[in-house]
Amino acid sequence: MVRRRVPPATLALVAIGLAAGGLWWWAVLRLLLVPGETGPVEGAVAAGGWGLSLLPVHVAASSGRPGVVARHITRASRRRRWGAGSGPS
C-alpha cells in the first residue's frame, strides 16, 4: 500500500471547511427545532451558507493575465453532421 503525504495546508483547509459546514448545520437545525430561542447569529449563518450555495459553480479561474479569456478545453467532441440536416436544436 502506497501512502501519500498530505500537505498541512490541505489538511487545514479541510478542517476549516468541515468546521464551517458543522457551524452551518448547527444554525439551520437550531432554527428549525427551536425557532423561539434562536437569535440573529444563527439566522445570519444559515442565510450566509445558503447564499454561498447559490454561487454559480461553472465559473472558472482566469489565466491571471488581464484581457485574456480562459479557454476551456474538453475531451468531448461534437457529433459531426453530414449532409444538409437541421441546425442545432
- Please write the tens of the pLDDT for every residue from 35-76: 889 899 888 888 888 777 777 666 655 556 666 555 555 556
List, for residues 22-36, the tens digit of each pLDDT value. 999 999 999 999 988
Beta carbons of 65 and 75 less than 8 angstroms apart: no
pLDDT reported for residue 81:
59
pLDDT reported for residue 61:
59
pLDDT reported for residue 51:
78
- Residue 45 CB contacts under 8 Å (≥ 6 apart), including other chains: 23, 24, 26, 27
Predicted TM-score of the model (pTM): 0.53
- Give the single-character DSSP code of 65: S
